[in-house]
């Protein structure tokens, strides 16, 4: 999977861990991910959350015949952040044949909760 020239690359998201039970990714809080008031943009947090859910789902499907796409996502922004790094930790709540549901927690360097999200992914038949 080539992540170059995608939103993932643009936002500086880096996949740190990928297993069947967990996806971990980091994202900088900088000029690419801040809103005009200098805080981490909620949309950047949601993009990070959907990224880990998407990559986690893709890791679990038959990549020869299936793909995936976000079906629904919600997020609660708990704490603001001005700079540094945030880390998303995604775990699957449901691994079905047509949908998967992921729980995502985004934390700062001190493991303080920044955002909590739940993302439902559609599993798509490609052929």
Q: Is 69 exposed, middle or buried (0-12, 13-18, 19+ CB in 10 A)?
A: exposed
φ/ψ of residue 26, rounded to 5:
-115, 155
Active-site residue list: 50
Q: How far apart are CA 95 and CA 82, in angstroms?
A: 35
Where are the alpha helices (H) located in 1-127, listed in sequence order? 7-10, 42-60
Longest Cα–Cα distance in the chain: 46
């Amino acid at each position: 999977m080539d992540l170059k020239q995608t939103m993932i690359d643009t936002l500086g998201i880096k996949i740190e861990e990928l297993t069947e039970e967990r996806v971990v990714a980091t994202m900088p809080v900088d000029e690419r991910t801040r809103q005009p008031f200098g805080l981490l943009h909620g949309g950047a947090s949601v993009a990070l959350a959907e990224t880990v859910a998407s990559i986690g789902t893709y890791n679990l499907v038959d990549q020869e015949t299936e793909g995936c796409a976000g079906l629904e996502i919600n997020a609660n922004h708990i704490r603001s952040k001005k700079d540094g790094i945030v880390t998303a930790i995604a775990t699957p709540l449901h691994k079905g044949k047509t949908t998967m549901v992921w729980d995502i927690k985004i934390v700062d360097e001190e493991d303080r909760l920044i955002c909590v999200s739940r993302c439902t992914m559609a599993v798509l038949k490609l052929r």
